[in-house]
Every structure is written in structure tokens, then in C-alpha cells.
């Protein structure tokens, strides 16, 4: 459960009852595409046994596009991965500025300036060279996130007398609904990490079972959190749900959220820069493998996230756009397309129909979400 789960109550505000159905449907679809993506890593040998012949998402893409170009698929997947990871970093900066401005409303500083202050604290990220440091920061993240969710849920339960199902709308605005689709999809995206995760499992045979249970519990937790928060505040639900808390709790929770956002930033940042650096340094040019060049790559990406956060300081709209572009591609479009390409002769009619349906749904959601999110951003900028 990442920090973006805090945008789910706002998604329910714009999607009504259909939002609850979407949270469940997205869990089922993401679980399915996770399974077929991992299936693409394996091929049958002469004895009919499944052998792992590929290791990464990039390997799968290259296998699918090898007739056109041996590396075309991998390049496309890497570009999409980097986009999603960098957009995640930008969202952490945007939400950091938002949290600081709400935590210290009496300080005469704009939200963009707060984002710059948050950015300064992240400058040491350019010196991160291994996952050891990132993993320690992620452990602290988990603890802080648990505290945040617990506080919000306890407060919502104390307001149970205010709950009313009448707050749910039956009629919804189509454009707002599509932005909500992007937000919900983005809260589930994990396909980038699944090949590595499955490859490192003690018993990879239990992967499908693990995926079923994790998506089931994720669905239950997301639905419970989004529902209780929306029933508590209804039409007053904000983009980041912690903005709805009373002032005595808001400052405490916002500072916890700020800590979590800053501690979460290094993981997607490190992953994105590693992909780019690996792609650049594959040649024989020794300059591309120098520590100074690596520092330059990380510094450039760090600066890029700040500039983007400064120009698009709208949390929900940016999350919806990211979910529609990269989230839909990595979660729905590519896994179903790759599965059809690599396993076509061995798939049953129903399996082919399922893959094609997922692809079409992902494509429609992606196009509609992109159009509506961009339109929303243009309206915000007047």
C-alpha cells in the first residue's frame, strides 16, 4: 500500500458506486496480467517441463520484437519504465510541497517553494550507489505508512455517526470518472517488479498463490480505507485525504506523510537512474562507465523531477495522467500483448479472448484517461 492510496477516497468522490467496483475489478485484472507476464518468462523443453528462459520485462519485450529488431521491445519497455518511475518521483515532490504548505499555513511560503525545500533534502540521493541504503529507507517507510493509515482509520471510525450512503452518487461525470480510473489503476501497478520478485522467490511455484492473496488483501484494504474516508467527509473529500483531518491531527499526519514521501523517493529514483545508466554504459566507451558520469545522470534526473513538480503541482490530475499513460501500458497492454505473441499456439480460445479483452479495456482506459487528464490540467492552467 503506497502513499497514493491516499487519493482513492477522492477517486470515489468522482466515480460513486462504480468506483468500488473499479477497485475490485482493477485488483482482479492486475492479478491476472501479473500471472500471464510471469508465464512469458517460461518455455517448455522437449520433455514438456517449463524452463525459465527469460529474466526481465525487457527480455520478454525483446523476444516479442526480435523479428522487427532484436532490441526494439526492450527499448520501449525501458522508456515506459523510466517514465513511470520518474513520474512517481515527481508525485512525491508534489505531495511533499502540498503537505508542507498545509502543515505550516501561517508561513508566507508558496507550495512551489515548499517543493524546492523538500527537493534540497533529497540532494544526497545522487550519491546512492546500492540498494542497501534504499532498503533501509523503505523499512522506515513501511512503519510511517502504518501509523498514517491507522490514525486516519481511527479518526474515521470515531465519526461513524456522520456516515451516510446517500453521499454516494449514482450519476457521475464521465470525464471525472475516467480520471478516477487512472488513479485506481496507478494504485495497483507492480508489474515492473514482478519478474525480479518471482526470480528471487525461494519457491517460484507459489508465485500464483502469492499473487492471489496479495491482490485480495490489497483490494480489501483499499476498499475499506477509501470507503470509510469517503463516508466520513463525502463531498468535502480532498485530493489528499489527510487534508480533511482536523488541524490537531493534520499537522502530525502531514509531517508523517512528508517523512514517508521523502523516504519513498530514493527507490523509484534509484531504479530509474540504474535503467538509464545501464542502457547508456552498454557500449565500450569508458567515459560512460565513470563514477562522474553516473553522478551526472543522477543529478540530471533529480533536477528533472523538481522542474516537473514546479510546473504541474496537481496531485490527483498528475497521478491520473501517469496511471493512464504508463500504468495502463505496463499493467494491461504489454502483458496481454506479449502473452498473445509468445503463447498464441498453446492458448485456449477462452484464454485468447481474456487477453484480447484485457488489451482492449486497457487501450480504451489509457486513451480516455490521457485525454481527460490533459484536459483537466489545461483547465487548471486557465
pLDDT in tens, the chain (382 residues): 666 688 889 888 888 888 888 899 989 999 999 999 999 999 988 887 889 999 888 889 889 888 777 777 888 888 888 887 887 888 888 878 877 887 788 888 888 888 888 888 888 888 887 777 887 888 888 888 888 888 889 999 999 988 877 777 766 677 677 767 767 877 787 887 788 788 888 899 999 999 999 999 999 999 999 999 999 988 888 877 877 888 888 778 888 888 888 888 888 888 888 888 777 776 554 555 577 877 888 888 888 888 887 876 565 566 666 666 777 778 888 899 999 999 998 999 999 999 999 999 888 877 876 777 677 777 766 6
Query: Is the separation of the CB atoms in 231 and 167 below 8 Å?
Result: yes
- The residue extents of the domains of the chain are 2-381
Q: What is the DSSP letter of 288?
A: G
The whole-number pLDDT of residue 32 equals 95
Query: Is the separation of the CB atoms in 31 and 215 below 8 Å?
Result: yes
The whole-number pLDDT of residue 71 equals 79
Query: Is the separation of the CB atoms in 323 and 185 below 8 Å?
Result: yes
Query: CA torsion sign, 138 to 139 to 144 to 147?
Result: positive
**Confidence (pTM):** 0.80
**Residue pointed to by grid coordinates 550519491:** 127
Q: C-alpha dihedral over 15, 18, 19, 23, to 10 degrees? A: -160
Query: Is the separation of the CB atoms in 165 and 294 below 8 Å?
Result: no
CATH top class, domain 2-381? mainly alpha
- C-alpha closest to that of 319 among 229, 225, 188, 223: 188
Amino acid at each position: 500500500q503506497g502513499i497514493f492510496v491516499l487519493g482513492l477516497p477522492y477517486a470515489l468522490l468522482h466515480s460513486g458506486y462504480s468506483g468500488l467496483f473499479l477497485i475490485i475489478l482493477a485488483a482482479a485484472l492486475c492479478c491476472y496480467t501479473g500471472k500471464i507476464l510471469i508465464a512469458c518468462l517460461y518455455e517448455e523443453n522437449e520433455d514438456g517441463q517449463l524452463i525459465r528462459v527469460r529474466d526481465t520485462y525487457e527480455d520478454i519485450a525483446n523476444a516479442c520484437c526480435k523479428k522487427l529488431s532484436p532490441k526494439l521491445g526492450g527499448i520501449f519497455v525501458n522508456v515506459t519504465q523510466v517514465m513511470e518511475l520518474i513520474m512517481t518521483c515527481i508525485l512525491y515532490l508534489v505531495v511533499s510541497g502540498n503537505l508542507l504548505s498545509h502543515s505550516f499555513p501561517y508561513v508566507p511560503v508558496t507550495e512551489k517553494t515548499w517543493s524546492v525545500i523538500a527537493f534540497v533534502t533529497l540532494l544526497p540521493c545522487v550519491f546512492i550507489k546500492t540498494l542497501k541504503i534504499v532498503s533501509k529507507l523503505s523499512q522506515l517507510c513501511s512503519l510511517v505508512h502504518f501509523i498514517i493509515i491507522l490514525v486516519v482509520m481511527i479518526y474515521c471510525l470515531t465519526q461513524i455517526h456522520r456516515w451516510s450512503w446517500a453521499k454516494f452518487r449514482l450519476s457521475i461525470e464521465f470525464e471525472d470518472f475516467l480520471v478516477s480510473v487512472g488513479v485506481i489503476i496507478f494504485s495497483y501497478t507492480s508489474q515492473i517488479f514482478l519478474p525480479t520478485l518471482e526470480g528471487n522467490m525461494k519457491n517460484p511455484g507459489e508465485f500464483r498463490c502469492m499473487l492471489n492473496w496479495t491482490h485480495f488483501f490489497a483490494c480489501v484494504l483499499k476498499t475499506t480505507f477509501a470507503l470509510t474516508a469517503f463516508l466520513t467527509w463525502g463531498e468535502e473529500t480532498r485530493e489528499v485525504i489527510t487534508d480533511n483531518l482536523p488541524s490537531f491531527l493534520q499537522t502530525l499526519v502531514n509531517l508523517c506523510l512528508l517523512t514517508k514521501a521523502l523516504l519513498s523517493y530514493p527507490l523509484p529514483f534509484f531504479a530509474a537512474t540504474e535503467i538509464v545508466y545501464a542502457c547508456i554504459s552498454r557500449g565500450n566507451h569508458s567515459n560512460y562507465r565513470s563514477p562522474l558520469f553516473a553522478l551526472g545522470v543522477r543529478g540530471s534526473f533529480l533536477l528533472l523531477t523538481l522542474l516537473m513538480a514546479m510546473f504541474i503541482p496537481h496531485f490527483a490530475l498528475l497521478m491520473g495522467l501517469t496511471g493512464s499513460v504508463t500504468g495502463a501500458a505496463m499493467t494491461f497492454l504489454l502483458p496481454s500483448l506479449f502473452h498473445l505473441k509468445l503463447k498464441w499456439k498453446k492458448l485456449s480460445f477462452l484464454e485468447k479472448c481474456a487477453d484480447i479483452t484485457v488489451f482492449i479495456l486497457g487501450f480504451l482506459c489509457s486513451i480516455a484517461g490521457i485525454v481527460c487528464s490533459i484536459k483537466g490540467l489545461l483547465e487548471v492552467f486557465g
